């Protein structure tokens, strides 16, 4: 099997990751996320058409009637449209929206009109942020217990790297960030961690079996040995996510997009962040094999 020199390109990878992180942090700082109604609060109006409408025409009709920050997407089927309005709830807003859309000559029926309070959105935002921090903390403790603290530090930085870049993409292009996207980010953390653990396990095994102190060579062997498994898992996962992105409808479009970005970045970070950082942290054989135990084994040899 062909051997790739992954560690030989680690400096270029660090530069690329640094650029992506810098752009993501700048956009998050100055442009911020385009939070959906799940976090900001607002009004949801669901209407049913006799035939599938043009979403741009629906949006233009509502904006022409004075509504601002209008988000329109299909819901369930092409005939059902979900309108999101970032404004205070009015009991008659559902009928008002329906009447405006009927003026375009379409047969439109009101299905429901609901309000998501800003207080509820704030609680969701705070609880979701706390949940993400707890997840990262538990991950660090798990990796430190199973491997060694340098492994835990590398894994944690890789996960933070993945999350920031996904958030940066959503901030840069002002994509709607709602609870489904948050769920996707939590799934990215789990996926990236699983890939990292596979590589870490092989690195630890190779360090214990090898008699060389060339960590870059040991890491290259470990990554190449797990490469086929990584590509197979990532490839099949991306095929499913692409199907969801193209055929799943608007409701899960951003969910699938966040996962696609996360899977790609997570696969990259398992090699060039989680693993390569162990070299920067000067991981040695003695970190996994106590010196006394190694000397005792040498004394037993004839």
Binding-site residues for ATP? 292
Instruction: Output phi, psi for 240, to 5 deg.
Output: -65, -45
Task: Show Cβ contacts of residue 146 under 8 Å, excluding neighbours closer than 6 positions.
Answer: 197
Annotated binding site: 292
Q: What is the DSSP code (8-state) at residue 286? A: G
Tell the residue number behind the tokens 């560690």, with chain if given: 7
Contacts of 197-202 spanning 24+ positions with Cβ under 8 A: 197/143, 197/146, 197/155, 198/226, 198/229, 198/230, 198/270, 199/223, 199/226, 199/230, 199/270, 199/271, 199/274, 199/275, 200/143, 200/147, 200/151, 200/155, 200/274, 200/275, 202/226
Nearest Cα neighbor of 188 from 132, 250, 122, 129 is 132
């Amino acid at each position: 099997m062909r051997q790739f020199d992954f560690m030989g390109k680690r400096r270029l990878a660090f530069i690329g990751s640094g650029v992506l992180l810098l752009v993501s942090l700048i956009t998050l700082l100055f442009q911020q996320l385009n939070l959906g109604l799940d976090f900001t609060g607002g009004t949801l109006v669901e209407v049913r058409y006799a035939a599938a409408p043009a979403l741009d025409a629906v949006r233009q009709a509502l904006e022409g009637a004075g509504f601002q920050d209008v988000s329109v997407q299909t819901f369930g089927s092409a005939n059902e449209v979900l309108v999101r309005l970032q404004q205070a709830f009015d009991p008659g807003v559902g009928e008002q929206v329906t009447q405006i859309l009927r003026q375009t000559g379409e047969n439109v029926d009101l299905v429901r009109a609901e309000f998501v309070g800003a207080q509820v959105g704030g609680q969701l935002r705070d609880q979701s942020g706390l949940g993400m921090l707890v997840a990262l903390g538990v991950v660090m403790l798990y990796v430190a217990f199973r491997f060694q603290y340098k492994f835990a530090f590398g894994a944690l930085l890789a996960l933070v790297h993945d999350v920031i870049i996904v958030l940066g993409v959503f901030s840069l292009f002002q994509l709607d960030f709602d609870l489904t996207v948050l769920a996707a980010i939590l799934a990215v953390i789990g996926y990236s961690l699983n890939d990292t653990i596979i590589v870490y396990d092989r690195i630890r095994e190779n360090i214990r079996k090898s008699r060389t102190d060339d960590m870059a060579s040991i890491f290259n062997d470990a990554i190449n040995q797990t490469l086929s498994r990584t590509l197979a898992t990532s490839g099949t996962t991306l095929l499913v996510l692409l199907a969801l992105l193209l055929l799943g409808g608007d409701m899960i479009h951003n969910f699938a997009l966040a996962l696609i970005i996360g899977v790609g970045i997570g696969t990259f970070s398992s090699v060039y962040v989680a693993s390569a950082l162990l070299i920067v942290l000067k991981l040695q054989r003695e970190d996994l094999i106590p010196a006394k135990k190694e000397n005792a084994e040498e004394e037993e040899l004839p």
